[in-house]
Amino acid sequence: MTTKTKPVHVAVYDTLADWETGHATAHLRSGRFHRESGSYEIVTVGLTGEPVTTAGGMRIVPDLTLDALTPQDSSLLILPGADLWDAGDDLAPYARKARAFLDAGVPVAAICGAVAGIAREGLLDDRDHTSAVVQYLEAQQGYGGAKRYQDRDAVLDGDLITAGPTEPVAFAREIFRRLDVYTPEVLDAWYRLFAKSDASAYEVLMAA
């Protein structure tokens, strides 16, 4: 299995919401149905090298520490939700890293509580975005982007992808769209299969 040049980086921290990134990371890593042959290496990024425990009780040892992560060495930074995003500023360094990625033109994908984290960093004020509800973001100090809020399952605006906690499949869809891993026909079929259990989509994927 050949891999793409630059890995996809996934932030990991205690209370990480396990269900929010699996569709994206599994299909990026598999390389199946990709427009070009090859897969993405998935690299986990912790604040330190110490193990973290997800909301589902899984123990993850980070591959890399956040201070060693640079945009030029990455294809994408994924920020999952976690209870810690709403419990204080412990994860604020990830929001600052997201700013560095966006400033460098490298995409960032945030879901659930991570959207609130980057809202506090001011990264949503001038970009279309979504979340669980706009009121959740309006409660975040530093957020001034209500006029750019979109009531949609997931939103891609330039290099930023956002989604609410109940939309992991749509979140993955917009990640795939931004990285251009699937043709439009395959992307549509992938979403119809995994989000809607549309059996007719399977034939399109098998033909790919």
Is 112 considered catalytic here?
A: yes
Please spell the DSSP secondary structure of the chain, one letter per residue.
Answer: --B-SSPEEEE--TTB-GGGTHHHHHHHHH-TT-SSS-B--EEEEESSSS-EE-TTS-EE--SEEGGG--GGG-SEEEE--BGGGGSSSTTHHHHHHHHHHHHTT--EEEETHHHHHHHHTTTTTTS-B--S-HHHHHTSTT---GGGB--SSEEEETTEEEE-TT-HHHHHHHHHHHHT-S-HHHHHHHHHHHHH--THHHHHHHH-
Cβ atoms within 10 Å of 205's Cβ, excluding its own: 16
Set 112, 137, 154, 186: catalytic member? 112
Q: Which residues pair with 10 in a beta bridge?
A: 44, 78
Phi, psi of 26 (to 5 degrees): -65, -45
**CA-wise closest residue to 2 among 34, 40, 44:** 40
Catalytic residue list: 112
